[in-house]
Amino acid sequence: MASRQKSPATDAQQPPGEDEVASGNGEGDEIMEEAEEQEDGYTSSTPTSTLTWISWFCSLPGHEYFCEVTEDFIEDDFNLTGLNAMVPFWKEAMEMVLDVEPEDEDTSKIPDVSIVESSAEMLYGLVHQRYILTRAGLQAMADKYESGVFGSCPRVYCVGCNVVPCGRVDIPGSDTVKLFCPNCNDIFVPPSSRFQGVDGAFFGTTFAHLFFQTYRELSPAPFWRAPSAGGSPLSPRSVSGSNGSRASPFNNPNPHGGQKRAAGYVYVPRIYGFKVSERAKSGPRMQWLRLRPETPEELDMVDWRGRWINGDDGYDDDDEEEEEDRQMEDFDPEAAEGEDDDDEEEEEEDEAVGTTPMKGQKSGKQAGSDPLTRTPGPVRSVRTSPTASEGPRSLDDKPLIDLSVYTLPSFGQSFGEGKVRTVRQWAPRTDWAGTAEV
Amino acid sequence: MEEASTGSDSDYSSTWVSWFLSSKGNEYFCEVDEDFILDRFNLTGLNNEVANYPQALDLITDSLDDDIQDELRGSLDVQARLLYGLIHARWIVTARGLTKMLEKYKRADFGRCPRVLCASQPLLPVGLTDIPYEKSVKLYCGRCEDLYSPKSSRHGSIDGAYFGTTFPHLLFLVYPTLIPLKDGELPSNPIKESSTDSRSRRRPREDTEAGVAAEGGAEGISTANVALKAERYRPRIYGFQVNEIAKLQRWQEAIRDRQIARLEALEDKTP
Ligand SMILES: [Zn+2]
Ligand SMILES: [Zn+2]
């Protein structure tokens, strides 16, 4: 846990709300760490009598995920049921958290103020775990969520979906805080090392999921249909941005389910433009982990034991693979931009993937050497006219790859559907670059 | 690893390439053999992609005329980086380039998977497209087979085309014994420097790593049902699974089981 050498009474320094500045960008470890250095810098500024212990605690580096528990909540004994057995120096810790002057001056039985401090921290953390399950606590966390305090999912195809803190156990002392992404339903290690000292139990196992049950409009639905390439396949760029503001309503027929349109693309590995077939030993084995059915009805085709209803698996090799291919079509924001009912999603995708380099510029670090925003002009035309398909010399002596592992048919199939994305990704990248010009 | 920069832009280095590699933010790049750069065949077509191509090439091979250096210096450096990046993308899918990147992979130079259940699996850089100036570099995890954004904006602004779409998948195609197992956290030492090695040693029918690297084949390995060992996170509210998510997860696992059945049937047909 972040160390606090000084007692809060004399060391109150930072206005509440600083936490939001500190971790606004979940992706930029760098940015966060800079903020951390700053905060470390002014540990000894003037004491502010108006700053409560709770505000101070929540403003410490690494404590950005905590919300401020109201004193009312802490003062209600009912909310503390069972906690006094887990916290040594309960009374003193309580006084510290609530900024109450000690009743008796006999502090001789307390060996060290730092012990009370760690008790206060434990007390606050355990109360916090309970508080964020209340209506007021959920609302406080929702405010932080929407302002991006918890950061966003590091997974590329979650396109910047915001995450919430969570614990893997409810008992303190066993694991650090993690981040839950409602889009991929997975948990991640916080991007900055300063969260490695924060106990996951202070957020608990329930909060993240109660949160998304409570705020269904923030919860991505379990089904997703790829935007069909309805627009002109020829010039996806020409419509880029023009339809961005046209948001269409999304509805999950399950009233208890997530009401947000999911970000559903799944990564498709390719070698020289060809999908790596599942028949290869190194072929995809984990796409199921991120896959969603296209419709909610498909979810009902599997029973509670995880078996397909309607008899056997009933799969038919080719059909299956094709179907999955369709769902897992590679992700490319531009290609789908003309699509009517997915504009909102596309916008987000653009932001997350397309502008990543911009973040580097914003932080002022990389502006000089950022290659992605410079001279985009003539390059593309060369690359998009793949003609020569001669292999690289360096693969020279023996071929590194066995061509039999590529899924060639799906390539043609996608063409037939006129998917722009596939066209742009298309195969003979074997040419490396435009060897045409030689 | 993010902070393990070996130098700054102002460091004196003997060659342009070593200067480039030691610059902060360039940790993902490996050294391209000079022979490779000097063989014009390998650079086929790049003259159309890089402005001042001859001078840029001279710069990265340290044969730039001193007179020119002053006039073009600023813009030439940008072009030299682009040229090196594009050469790099070709280099790392060669046999020698793969082994260079393999060394970096084993040192986890590209960072580790942020997914908790991937137990700090080292990552590999990958592009979403082979065309420069389109998408920044992403990181591929061989355990969950998914893509992640680099944590640091320094790496997040590198052009993905300098690594290309093919590289990590070719690596695992050529070295199938290096494909990470799908099982989750190890009960002990979850974050250890040697985690890759120790885990691949646990693999059944495992060759020594050297042997693998040399022969590049692993006929005995079956990966048909490896996904069964994958752990996943199961959201719970007061200990109870969340209905809609549980339903989705059952569906996903049914998809998984169907793929396994398909692959095992295939194996039976072709022993
Ligand atoms: Zn996610
Ligand atoms: Zn992973």
Structure tokens at B1: 């690893």
The Cα-based distances of B223 to A280, A355, B251 in angstroms read 9, 37, 21
Same domain, B147 and B248: no
As for how many domains chain B has, the answer is 2
Place of tokens 């249909």: A225
pLDDT of residue A114: 87
Q: Do B170 and A371 touch (CB under 8 A)?
A: no
Let me know if residue B52 belongs to a domain: yes
B108 at A interface, C-beta within 8 A: no
pLDDT of residue B122: 98
pLDDT of residue A395: 35
Confidence check: pLDDT of A16 > 90 = no
Let me know if residue B148 belongs to a domain: yes
Q: Which of residues 197-216 of A touch B (CB under 8 A)?
A: 205-206, 208-210, 213
Classified as helix, coil or strand, A162 is strand
Fold of A151-224+252-305: N-terminal domain of TfIIb (2.20.25)
> Any idea how long chain B is?
271
Fold of A53-132: protein kinase ck2 holoenzyme, chain C, domain 1 (1.10.1820)
> Any idea how long chain A is?
438
The Cα-based distances of B220 to B143, B173, B205, B217 in angstroms read 20, 14, 7, 9
Place of tokens 């099982």: B183
Same domain, B122 and B255: no
pLDDT tens digits along B111-144:
999 999 999 999 999 999 999 999 999 999 999 9
- The full DSSP string for B11-30 is ---SSHHHHHHHSTT-TT--
Structure tokens at A435: 């060897």
The residue among A114, A58, A25, A1 whose CA lies nearest residue A362 is: A25
Structure tokens at B148: 């992640």
- The full DSSP string for A376-389 is -TTHHHHHT-----
Q: Average the pLDDT over each of A7-16, A51-60, A94-103, A156-165 and give the range with the smallest value.
A: A7-16
Closest CB to A279: pick one of B147, B152, B266.
Answer: B266
Q: Structural domain of residue B170, as residue ranges?
A: 16-178
Confidence band for A310, pLDDT divided at 50, 70 and 90: confident
Confidence check: pLDDT of A342 > 60 = no
The residue among B16, B176, B30 whose CA lies nearest residue B109 is: B30
A-B C-beta contacts closer than 8 Å: 314
- Residues surrounding ion ligand 1 at CB below 5 Å: A 153, 155, 158, 181, 183-184
Q: Supply angle C-alpha B178, B184, B189, rounded to 5.
A: 90
pLDDT of residue A434: 30
Q: Do A375 and B221 touch (CB under 8 A)?
A: no
Residues of B in contact with A134 (CB under 8 A): none
pLDDT of residue B65: 79
Considering only residues B12 and A126, tell me which one the structure prediction assigns the higher pLDDT.
A126
Residues of A in contact with B78 (CB under 8 A): 369, 371, 374
Closest CB to B237: pick one of A213, A384, A433.
Answer: A213
Residues of chain B with pLDDT under 50: 1-11, 187-217
The residue among A204, A214, A210 whose CA lies nearest residue B242 is: A210
Let me know if residue B69 belongs to a domain: yes
Let me know if residue B129 belongs to a domain: yes
Residue B245 gets which letter from DSSP? H
CB atoms within 10 A of CB A433: 25
Classified as helix, coil or strand, B39 is coil
Same domain, B148 and B240: no
Residues of A in contact with B132 (CB under 8 A): 371, 379
Alpha helices in A171-230 (DSSP H): 207-214
Q: Do B147 and A155 touch (CB under 8 A)?
A: yes
pLDDT of residue A237: 34
Confidence check: pLDDT of A308 > 50 = yes
- Best A36, A178, A186 member to test B by mutation, with max B CBs in 10 Å, is A186
Let me know if residue B251 belongs to a domain: yes
Place of tokens 């959201």: B235
Structure tokens at A285: 């084995």
Cα within 13 Å of Cα(A256), Cβ side:
7
**What gap in Å lies between CA A222 and CA B187, rounded to an integer?**
31
Last residue of a domain, one of B178, B205, B221: B178
Confidence check: pLDDT of A78 > 70 = yes
The Cα-based distances of A67 to A150, A186, A201 in angstroms read 11, 23, 14
Tell me which long-range contacts A104-107 makes (C-beta under 8 A, separation of at least 24): none
Contact B200, B183 (CB under 8 A): no
- The domain limits of chain A are 53-132, 151-224+252-305
Nearest residue in A to B97, CA atom: A394
Closest CB to A156: pick one of B86, B138, B233.
Answer: B138
**What gap in Å lies between CA B5 and CA B20, rounded to an integer?**
12
pTM of the shown model: 0.74
CATH number at residue B80: 2.20.25.20
Considering only residues A30 and B101, tell me which one the structure prediction assigns the higher pLDDT.
B101
Contact A227, A32 (CB under 8 A): no
The Cα-based distances of A281 to B182, B217, B225 in angstroms read 13, 11, 11
Q: Do B176 and A29 touch (CB under 8 A)?
A: no
Contact A333, A160 (CB under 8 A): no
Confidence band for A332, pLDDT divided at 50, 70 and 90: very low
Sign of CA dihedral B160, B165, B169, B174: negative
Nearest residue in A to B239, CA atom: A206
Residues of B in contact with A395 (CB under 8 A): 93-95
Contact A222, A292 (CB under 8 A): yes
CA distance A159 to chain B (A): 10
